[in-house]
Structure 1
Amino acid sequence: MRVLLDHRRPAAPGARVTASELADLYAFPRGRRWVRANFVTSLDGSAVGADGRSGSINTPADNRVFALQRDLCDAVLVGAGTVRAEGYERVEPSRRRPEPPALVVVSASGRVPEGLRTPVEGRGAGLFLTCSAAGARRLGRARSALGSEAVVVAGDEEVDLGAALDSLAARGLRHVLCEGGPSLFSAALSAGVVDELALTLAPTLVGGDGPGITAAPRLGGPAGLAVWPRLLVEEAGTLLGLWRVSRS
């Protein structure tokens, strides 16, 4: 993998990086809460392949960086709809990290995805974020299925992502990798809680009318929400990078 841009230390274009150097490039900042959203898209902007899943446009380089970021984060944040569509059940341990990050699922309705009902011990069991509008019955079912400590109620009519992330940080889960989907990412951007975007551009064209990485009708001002690149790397035609999200 070669570095095209690293804002921290200018390097010769095309400089190769080792696995440990790549981990340093993608490391989360120490000592503070940090939310990084992670997506892959085709060159024509589709966040899914012909089968309706993001996995079909993944590349080996994207898979490697995807796994690396999971090793580096404290928690994986994902919407309940994406859990159902992509078949999430748990975050598996890796060679680098025997204890996986927590899987944190967001659901305003309070409906627990079926795959999460499988008992999982340890930190990988994760948390379920919902809101008061889910109602007493569904909250009770969620607590029965997952355990009372695993269900966090934040917000009234919708999940208050700022409060939810504060709750995660209080549990030692400061470095959060948001894996979507588009609705959750848009809500997080609107709430001003996203610090940066990790985006992979896969060297493929999908066509059709598949979804993009956001679902909001408009973000930011007339020109949209500003982002700026702080890292760009490339391998076999796959372009990967980190973009800092403006909070202004």
Structure 2
Amino acid sequence: MRRIYPDIQDNPDIVQAYAYPEGRPWLRLNMVASVDGAAWLKGRSGPLSSKGDRRIFQTLRGLADVVVAGAATVRKEGYGPVPPRDAWAELREGRPEVPPIAVITRSLALDLDSDLFDAPSRTIVITCEAAPHERRKEAAKRADLIVAGDEGVDMRRAVAELHDRGLTRVLCEGGPRVNAQLSACGLVDELCLSVSPLLVGGGAARIQNGEPAQVALALRQVLEEEGVLFCKYTREQSHDRADH
């Protein structure tokens, strides 16, 4: 792997390249897309990935306090608990050995008997008042339940609840609708985008689908490996606040 922007460097330190800013909460999106903007191939993001993308993916998880994903992404990608890794020992000093997964779901249409709910760090389920009452009771037995919002999940309240639990370094892995909702609420500080050298076409979603949001981003870094670009953008005002 090499860095090609803002300067050229072979074998950059990935942990340093993706370190969270100190002294403030930070919400990072991590997504992969084809060069024509498709967020998945045959319904899953895996076929767009690469060795470098998977390495960065694991590093970002190791750095995070919590990994957030929408229920559709959890189902499609077959999420399980985050496995502990020896390489994370220093990264996670003073924190649990793995970050919890936080699942955003309005309907609670989740398999509560899956491995995801038998995790080293207790899984979090974020839902709303409109979710079926019995499902909420069942989810509360298997997970740390957060009710944020009435008819749908209120993303501002959801993120605030995570912060109240000390989970301020937030990594969101999608999907596109969750990303769009977070952007529309002004909650996204950073986008880590892996660009796979593929043309996909068809009806695949973009990395954001749903509510319109115009968020000005600044390109901070580009890494490259085997033709895959790993771009890091920050919201301009977030970068300014982090510097001051």
TM-score of the superposed pair, with normalisation by structure 2: 0.88
* Superposed counterparts of 1:106-185, under 5 Å: 106-114=104-112, 116=114, 119-123=117-121, 125-144=122-141, 146-147=142-143, 150-185=144-179
Tell me if the contact between 1:40 and 1:47 (Cα under 8 Å) persists in the aligned partners.
yes
Give 1:239's match in structure 2, choosing from 218, 229, 232: 229
Deviations 1:177-199 (A, max 9, x none): 10000010011111111111000
Read off the aligned partner of 1:213 and give its amino acid letter.
Answer: I
Q: Partners in 2 of 1:175 and 1:53 — Cα distance? A: 26
Q: What is the aligned partner in structure 1 of residue 3 from structure 2?
A: 3
Greater alpha carbon shift after TM alignment, 174-183 vs 22-31:
22-31
Read off the aligned partner of 1:239 and give its amino acid letter.
Answer: L
Relative to 1, partners in 2 of residues 1:57 and 1:118: Cα closer, same or farther, differing over 3 Å? Answer: closer
Q: Which 4+ runs in 1 deviate beyond 4 A? A: 114-119
Read off the aligned partner of 1:62 and give its amino acid letter.
Answer: D
Q: Partners in 2 of 1:121 and 1:181 — Cα distance? A: 22
Q: What is the aligned partner in structure 2 of residue 87 from structure 1?
A: 78
Q: Partners in 2 of 1:15 and 1:118 — Cα distance? A: 38
Q: CA deviation at 1:2?
A: 1.4
Q: What is the aligned partner in structure 1 of residue 190 from structure 2?
A: 196
Relative to 1, partners in 2 of residues 1:189 and 1:138: Cα closer, same or farther, differing over 3 Å? Answer: same
**What's the C-alpha RMSD, in Å, of the aligned pairs?**
1.9
Q: Residue 130 of structure 2 aligns to a residue in which SS?
A: helix
Read off the aligned partner of 1:77 and give its amino acid letter.
Answer: V
Greater alpha carbon shift after TM alignment, 135-144 vs 103-112:
135-144
Q: Partners in 1 of 2:211 and 2:147 — Cα distance? A: 27
Q: What is the aligned partner in structure 2 of residue 227 from structure 1?
A: 217
Q: Partners in 2 of 1:119 and 1:189 — Cα distance? A: 28
Q: Residue 23 of structure 1 aligns to a residue in which SS?
A: helix
Deviations 1:32-61 (A, max 9, x none): 111000100011111112x22100110111
Can you give the 5+ residue segments of structure 2 that lack an aligned partner in the other structure? 90-96, 239-244
Tell me if the contact between 2:148 and 2:154 (Cα under 8 Å) persists in the aligned partners.
yes
TM-score of the superposed pair, with normalisation by structure 1: 0.86
Q: What is the aligned partner in structure 2 of residue 66 from structure 1?
A: 57
Q: Partners in 1 of 2:170 and 2:116 — Cα distance? A: 23
Relative to 1, partners in 2 of residues 1:116 and 1:246: Cα closer, same or farther, differing over 3 Å? Answer: farther
1:40 and 2:37 aligned: no
Q: Residue 48 of structure 1 aligns to a residue in which SS?
A: coil
Can you give the 5+ residue segments of structure 1 that lack an aligned partner in the other structure? none
Q: CA deviation at 1:120?
A: 2.1
Q: Residue 96 of structure 1 aligns to a residue in which SS?
A: helix
- Percent of aligned positions with the same letter in both sequences? 36
Q: How many residues end up aligned between the 2 structures?
A: 231
Q: Partners in 2 of 1:129 and 1:37 — Cα distance? A: 18
Q: CA deviation at 1:135?
A: 3.6
Tell me if the contact between 1:71 and 1:100 (Cα under 8 Å) persists in the aligned partners.
yes
Tell me if the contact between 2:116 and 2:123 (Cα under 8 Å) persists in the aligned partners.
no
Tell me if the contact between 1:111 and 1:142 (Cα under 8 Å) persists in the aligned partners.
no
Tell me if the contact between 1:131 and 1:158 (Cα under 8 Å) persists in the aligned partners.
yes
Tell me if the contact between 1:143 and 1:151 (Cα under 8 Å) persists in the aligned partners.
yes
Q: Residue 134 of structure 1 aligns to a residue in which SS?
A: coil
Q: Partners in 2 of 1:65 and 1:4 — Cα distance? A: 16
